[in-house]
């Protein structure tokens, strides 16, 4: 598993593909080098996925922290239970919550137009698969240019959010604390002191002190 280092304004991109299309991913990754060098994107991908497996905690975390999901679409991708039915469907659920951009990069001719992919953004231009282009470098470059536009959209969305919303998004990405290891009384809301009653009402201790003071005070009247 490979995770490239992030910068302050990096957009996290999760790339999903069938291992049978790894040669195409290698080519596309080369065309994405300028975006990486500029610190605009951080890439996450896994070339050791076991077909038919489930999302591991590490992959689930990477998906949750990513802003963009890129599927390298081919007949093998559509036939893969893991790629299409698990990873891609997970990304679509996040897209429905408007927390992730989903892009289909069409690598080889396949029946992708008869899936839900047809409703979302596809690259290269007009959904023409990479292998159908006379110059495949032009196709990869078209995909890279399209991703640059998506990245710009993500950055604009993040900039338009008020600071409180951005901090809320960061907290949602962090694992929830169980509260274990905290001293009693520090988990959850701070308990109200038992000596604090209704506002303005004296406490029992204060009443006792007042009574004691009255009994010890000398009589002010003269004989």
Residue 45 three-state SS: strand
Residue 97 DSSP class: T
- For the stretch 49-86, pLDDT in tens is 545 456 778 888 888 899 999 999 999 999 999 899 99
pLDDT, residue 116, reads 93
Q: Is the CA virtual torsion 66, 71, 72, 76 positive or negative?
A: positive
Under-70 pLDDT residues of the chain: 1-8, 47-54, 163-223
pLDDT, residue 60, reads 84
**Is the preceding peptide bond at 124 cis, omega within 30 degrees of 0?**
yes
Phi, psi of 215 (to 5 degrees): -70, -30
pLDDT, residue 170, reads 58
In the structure encoding, which two tokens stand for residue 154, read together? Answer: 């993500």
pLDDT, residue 47, reads 57
In whole angstroms, what is the distance from residue 133 CA to residue 40 CA? 27
In whole angstroms, what is the distance from residue 132 CA to residue 135 CA? 9
Kindly report the pTM of this predicted structure: 0.68
Phi, psi of 15 (to 5 degrees): -110, 125
pLDDT, residue 177, reads 44
In the chain the domains, ranked by start, together with CATH numbers, are 2-173 (3.40.50.10140)
Cβ–Cβ under 8 Å, residues 154 and 67: yes
pLDDT, residue 219, reads 47
CA dihedral 150, 151, 154, 156 (to 10 degrees): -100
pLDDT, residue 191, reads 47
In whole angstroms, what is the distance from residue 82 CA to residue 79 CA? 9
User: Which residue in 52, 81, 21, 67 sits closest to 161, CA to CA?
Assistant: 67
pLDDT, residue 154, reads 93
């Amino acid at each position: 598993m490979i995770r490239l280092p992030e910068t302050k304004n990096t957009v996290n991109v999760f790339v999903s593909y069938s291992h049978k299309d790894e040669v195409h991913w290698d080519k596309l990754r080369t065309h994405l080098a300028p975006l990486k060098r500029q610190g605009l994107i951080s890439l996450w991908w896994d070339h050791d996925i076991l077909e038919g497996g489930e999302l591991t905690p590490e992959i689930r975390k990477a998906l949750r922290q990513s802003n963009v999901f890129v599927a390298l679409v081919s007949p093998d991708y559509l036939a893969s239970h893991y790629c299409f039915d698990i990873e891609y469907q997970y990304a679509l659920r996040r897209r429905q919550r408007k927390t992730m951009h989903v892009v289909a990069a069409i690598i080889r001719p396949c029946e992708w137009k008869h899936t839900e992919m047809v409703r979302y953004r596809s690259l290269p231009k007009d959904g023409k698969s990479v292998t159908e282009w006379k110059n495949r470098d032009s196709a990869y470059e078209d995909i890279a240019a399209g991703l640059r536009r998506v990245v710009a959209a993500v950055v604009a969305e993040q900039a338009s959010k008020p600071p409180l919303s951005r901090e809320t998004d960061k907290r949602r990405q962090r694992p929830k604390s169980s509260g274990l290891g905290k001293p009693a009384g520090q988990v959850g809301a701070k308990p109200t002191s038992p000596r604090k009653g209704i506002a303005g009402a004296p406490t029992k201790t204060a009443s006792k002190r007042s009574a004691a003071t009255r009994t010890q005070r000398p009589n002010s009247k003269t004989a």
